[in-house]
Amino acid sequence: MVNLSLKEKFAFKFIFNEKRIYQRWYGRFLGFGIDYGRLKRVVARISNWLQWCDEWTKEGDQLYKKAEEELINGYEIKAKALFHEAVGCYHVGQHIFFIDSNQKERTQEKARISYKRAIDLDNEKERPIRIEIPFNGAIVPGYLRLSNMSNGPLVIFINGMDNIKEAEGHSQGTLFQKYGFNFFTFDGIGQGEMWKAMKFDEKEYHKVVSVIIDWFEKQKIYDIDIKRIALVGFSLGGYLAPMCAAYDKRVKCVVGNSGVVYIGGLAGLKKLNPIWQRGVTYMTKSETLEEAVNSFDWDIEDSPNLQVPLLFYHAGKDEVMPSPKLHAEKVMKWARGDKTLKFYEDAEHCTMNYLDEVFPEIVNWLKIKL
């Protein structure tokens, strides 16, 4: 556990609770397979933020053990569901738990192991395909979901600050695959499985996406129309996806949701909630914000102007970014092609309380643009 400031100790003990914070995350947690009753039971055991990762890890361990028992009894369908829900519990536990990187990484590794156990129970046609793509001496790890449609388009999902390909990437992959899209989810530099190998550097991220597209162009074994590629990103990915599309002309359209498209240097980082400040130093493997700012500072208007269609979501009650309206205005000014701004006045970060409308809309829009 890292040393906490007095402000952090106060926030994590008294402010981080269900009424103020946790309930805002429920839409995300339910989205990757955690039962609402289980969610409420675990949260009820947590009196302050410092217990968060430990309690969720214990819940994941119990589900993992039950899954193994069901396999012994011959109940593979139930076992697969339990392994996936264990992934969800592990991910919730390590999600933005930047105050203890060792605990966070142990729990995240459990999520990866449980995910592998779950997908090993899929039949071969449904099973996500593990892909490893070389990048600057490291490996970009990802999973490819193939649709059952011949020569279908490819959607590449770009993670937010603390998404992992086994949780959000899997649940979104299931949705897009259902509607005929091939779907690739990956951990980029400073994210998930790749965090140990390479720290986050905003200036390098678009190169990762271009290397991924290069790799798919060279593959002949998958029935994918490589001339129809879309990027989709939420939160930090809501900035990274449009930015990467601006650099790589092979991308035909892009969706960004609640993208943090402007930082504002060190002063901007210091305006962030303490938990997100911890996220910045974690991703960049820095000790201080002063050290991290070189890798975590940008203004989307400094990137090449986007020329392809953009669908961008703005949440009026976004608690993550200061001045959320500024980000929407900036991205609309910067994008030069066909662009659509969807504003949800009472939505929370990544429109989490409107995903029942947002996801079908994204699918419809991509169907039209691709």
What is the per-residue pLDDT across 359-369, written as a single tens digit (0 to 9) for each?
A: 999 999 999 99
Instruction: Note the pLDDT of residue 88.
Output: 96
**Distance (Å, rounded) from C-alpha 48 to C-alpha 21?**
11
Predicted TM-score (pTM) of the model is: 0.96
Give percent of the chain above pLDDT 70: 96
Backbone angles phi, psi at 273, to 5 degrees: -55, 145
Instruction: Note the pLDDT of residue 128.
Output: 98
Encode burial over 340-364: b for 16+ CB neighbours within 10 A, e otherwise: eebebeebbbbbbbbbeebbebbbe
Write out pLDDT tens, residues 259-317.
999 999 999 999 998 889 999 999 999 999 999 999 999 999 999 999 999 999 999 88
258 φψ region: left (φ > 0), alpha (ψ -120 to 50), beta (else):
left
Instruction: Note the pLDDT of residue 193.
Output: 97
Bridging pattern class, strands 129-135 and 251-257: unpaired
Handedness of CA 56, 60, 63, 65 (dihedral sign): negative
Encode burial over 106-123: b for 16+ CB neighbours within 10 A, e otherwise: ebbebbbbbbebbbebee
- E strand or H helix that includes residue 35: none
**Distance (Å, rounded) from C-alpha 287 to C-alpha 207?**
25
Which CATH superfamily does the domain covering 128-262+298-370 fall into? Alpha/Beta hydrolase fold, catalytic domain (3.40.50.1820)
Write out pLDDT tens, residues 175-203.
999 999 999 999 999 999 999 999 999 99
Span 68-85, average pLDDT: 97
CATH topology assigned to domain 1-127: de novo design (two linked rop proteins) (1.20.1440)
Write out pLDDT tens, residues 2-17.
677 777 777 776 666 6
pLDDT band at 19, cuts 50/70/90? low
pLDDT at position 326 over 80: yes
Q: How do the domains of the chain map onto residue ranges? A: 1-127, 128-262+298-370
Instruction: Note the pLDDT of residue 1.
Output: 58
Write out pLDDT tens, residues 108-128.
999 999 999 999 999 988 999
The residues, ordered by sequence, that sit 6+ positions from 216 with a Cβ below 8 Å of its Cβ are: 154, 184, 222, 224, 226, 229
pLDDT at position 23 over 80: no
Backbone angles phi, psi at 312, to 5 degrees: -130, 135
pLDDT at position 18 over 70: no
pLDDT band at 138, cuts 50/70/90? very high
**Distance (Å, rounded) from C-alpha 358 to C-alpha 360?**
6
Structure tokens at 342: 């969807």
Do 128-262+298-370 and 1-127 have the same topology in CATH?
no
Instruction: Note the pLDDT of residue 318.
Output: 85
